[in-house]
Amino acid sequence: MPEKITLDDLIALVRTYNPKTNEKLIRTAFAYGADMHEGQFRHSGEPYFTHPVAVAAILTHQRLDDATIITALLHDTIEDTKSTYSEVVEMFGSEIAELVDGVTKLTNLQLSSTQTKQAENFRKLFMAMSKDLRVILVKLADRLHNMRTIKSMRPEKQVQKARETMDIYAPLAGRMGMQWMREELEDLAFSVLNLEARNSLMRRFITLQRETGDVVKKITDDIRLELDNGNIKADVYGRAKKPYSIWRKMEEKGQGFSRLSDIYGFRVITENEADCYRVLGAIHQRWSAVPGRFKDYISQPKSNGYRSIHTTVSGRDGKRVEVQIRTRLMHDVAEAGVAAHWSYRDGVRASNPFAVDPAGWVASLTERLDSAEDHDEFLEHVKLEMYSDQVFCFTPKGEVVKLPRGATPLDFAYAIHTRIGDACVGARVDGIRVPLWTRVKNGQSVEIMTAEGQRPQATWIDIAVTGKAKSAIRRSLRSEDRERFIKLGRELARVAFEHVGKKATDKALTIAAKHMGLTDSNELLARLGSAETNARDVVEGLYPELSASTGDEVEMARAIVGLKHGQTFERAACCQPVPGERIVGISYRGKGVVVHAIDCPVLSEFENQNDRWVDLHWHSGTHPAAHCVTLRITISNDAGVLGRICTLIGEQKANIADLLFLDRKPDFYRILIDVDLRDVEHLHTVMTALEADNDVAALERYRDPTRKP
């Protein structure tokens, strides 16, 4: 592609596949875009309008319609110039104006932000896709050109854009079937994120070619010879895989470059579908097939319309060779992906029976996303949908069930019906009883065993892979735990309201729930109990004037109300009372008052010493996170678990003051953790967060009657 593309160059590119193009409208759009961007420059110093023209040129290689080409020329006008939506409507029509506006909105999404915001932005991205998929096609071409010219950006901006490309845009291009674009985006991002690794791979590859000669040509000639012997007409193409693709295989397999064998890919394009299987037979007759590396996407197409046969064989000198076999029409879809729906040939929309309907594709992609009830679930769905390859399994009746690679019988059960998943007690794969965590493979027959009264287990969350299964399991567990969470939430609400001198009445909770858009007070309490909502936020929503007045933290010296003037106090080490709990004091001559929780067993020692008891209560303001509480916790002895537990505590704005190992076993640790907390609500929040972790086997507040202040 020339560095600077002129208007005539662009028209010529469009005419190669669409002689009936509306040349006048494209010329008008070109002139309008150039005028709007006059005086604007890119980081490289080039006139800014060279970028929209390059984006349009990229889209011509996908043979896209005039509306998409013109949108590319105008895609930054509404955002970055004095152009307006109404002006674009007037000059180019509402279809193009809607597309330009859609790209503008996508440009404004900060997809690589915090997890909560990222989930919301993904929702918006998929909403834009569902309206008109061409918006995403323009955005992907825009990102591709920006990545091709990324070296002119500041280093930190390069890294941010490259990471966003690797995490979001490259897998999205792959999911849409545009594998060539995915590979180029990945490789360009790889050059930024790990240039040293890429250069090392390239050097090794050059050395390998020098030692072995042109392996691609040799194997291509071998395949052509077999096809000629079988009298099969087909084109054969070969290439070395992209550096990032090789790097990913090395990372996945834990192998060095010298041990990695399948670094070459070959493609056979046939005249008809029957010849695809004849080619497969000829290749397997000549070379040994590698077990587990055969996929037939012709009989079981991917949801984006992709059809091809994939096989890996031990080729020349024992080198593994991946071969893809498909017809010309299938190849067109494989190159353009979902964009094949808009492809033109000879001035008319190309009639390709394999091109997927974009509306149906987006509907299938977003079908499960709408049911996600929280941000984590939504991102889980999105990333699964974009990254996953598929396996095809069969029910005992022979019906096909599509699942992502790595799925389990549990995912299979939920794919059939939520009711089947909830009641699952076991599975048979190809007639053999297997654990629920078994990974299913292509072509296997899966039978799910159910039992009445069976309910999902918490451990299933880690076994399931699909978003649908995880969502259903979480929903069931939430329902089961609802009563427990409501009870805990009521206690948290009581403490939080008492902090500002109010009562958590049913009326107050109902109003608070309404303010937060929840159905009723029980829903609010359940969210409080499950730590999805903070009790302090509820109080501040109802009584902003009170919460503001108590905004300053209570000084530690004034935390207790009921002491005599000049009398000092300290918290009892045996029960470690915290604000929000009922307390009582025991006076000591020369030591002041020791504050105990009302239920502390040590108090029984003072039953006959009434003169030493002091009636106390906590100050109603906001306390600092400086009240130490000891937690006894049992966790799995696995890599990263202790670090995650410490992170969970930190995420609740609590500080770990000390940590003591009580037991170190091969399968678990038992630990005492001292945590600095604000109050009893803060304690409940921390404990709830820890209890929710699957690697926490036991958790309790630790109190030692023998501890002395």
Residue 616 has phi, psi (to 5 degrees) of: -130, 160
Is 80 annotated as catalytic?
A: yes
Give the dihedral sign, CA 498/500/505/510. negative
Catalytic residue among 79, 95, 164, 376: 79
Please list, in sequence order, all residues whose beta carbon lies within 8 angstroms of the beta carbon of residue 246, skipping any fewer than 6 positions away: 201, 205, 257, 260, 263
The answer to whether the beta carbons of residues 570 and 543 sit under 8 Å apart is: no
Tell me if residue 120 is catalytic: no
Q: Which of 522, 521, 519, 526 is nearest to 482 (CA)?
A: 526
Residue 238 has a CB neighbour count (10 Å cut-off) of 21
Distance between CA atoms of residues 433 and 446, nearest Å: 10
Q: Side chain identity at 310, as an amino acid letter?
A: H
Task: Count CB-CB contacts under 10 A for residue 309.
Answer: 22
- Distance (Å, whole) CA 607 – CA 324: 85
Write out 423-443 in H/E/C secondary structure: CEEEEEECCEEECCCCCCCCC
The residue to which tokens 């090789």 are assigned: 246
Comparing CA positions, the residue from 391, 341, 366, 358 lying closest to residue 64 is: 341
Residue 305 near residue 314 (C-beta atoms within 8 A): no
Phi, psi of 299 (to 5 degrees): -75, -25
SS3 (DSSP) at 376: helix
Which of 227, 218, 228, 260 has the alpha carbon at shortest distance from 243? Answer: 260
CA 355 to chain centre: 28
Q: How far apart are CA 544 and CA 525, in angstroms?
A: 20
Q: What does R_g of the chain's alpha carbons equal in angstroms?
A: 32
A 10 A CB-CB count for 402 gives 15
Whole-number Å distance between alpha carbons of 299 and 6: 44
* Separation of alpha carbons 464 and 119, rounded Å: 21
Torsion-angle region of 566 (φ positive above 0: left; ψ -120 to 50: alpha; else: beta): left
Q: Both tokens of residue 380?
A: 């889980």
CA-wise closest residue to 303 among 245, 366, 372, 248? 366
Reading the block at residue 164, the tokens are 């966003």
Residue 674, φ and ψ in degrees, nearest 5? -90, 125
Pairing verdict, β 264-270 and 234-240: antiparallel
CB 129 within 8 A of CB 169: no
Q: Identify how many contiguous H helices and E strands the chain contains and give both numbers.
A: 29, 23
- Beta partners for residue 675, in sequence order: 629, 656
Selected catalytic residue, list 9, 23, 46, 80: 80
Q: What does residue 402 show for φ and ψ, rounded to 5 degrees?
A: -90, 130
The residues carrying an active-site annotation are 79-80
